[in-house]
Amino acid sequence: MTDKSGIQSLNIKEILRFQRNRYPVLLIDRILDIDPGKRAIARKCFTYNEWFMPGHFDDEPSVPGTVQIECLAQTLLMTFQCMEQYMGMKANAASYNNIKFRKKIEPGDVLLIEANLHSLKRGIAVGSSLGKVDGELACSADFVIVVPDILEQFKPKLL
């Protein structure tokens, strides 16, 4: 886990140090590569034993779209939450845009996610993520994420 910034890849214990999601909503399994402040590549291995799988649907299990989007968002979070000044801070979704689902994701599939941070200013992160299964595009989305503790510093103060 080292490069000049101190981070190259992260296992699940290390991911837990940087961001606040926990079971059952921490979805990414590993960060395979990271360039803090720029991009991250993550992996999510889906199994039938996931809490959402049996109910979606029992005759043809697949990963719900909301879970796919959350995997994309959590990977984008890691592009900046691995930086010391953002480590462990609460982050809220402000908007999800241009969401696309291209391929059904089933138990046994591995989602490889690439997230790119386009800008991070005053506690507002703008970026995009895409997920592939077996090299084929499965899902993608654009995000605006707010870090309330940072954003608060830039709000006008009442007299």
What does the DSSP assignment read for 27-65? ---EEEEEETTTEEEEEEE--TTSTTSTTS-TTS----H
Instruction: Identify the three-state secondary structure at position 26.
Output: coil
- What sign for the dihedral angle of Cα 74, 77, 79, 84? negative
> Minimal CA–CA distance to 116: which of 65, 73, 56, 70?
73
Residue 47 · residue 94 · CB < 8 Å: no
Which residues are designated catalytic? 56
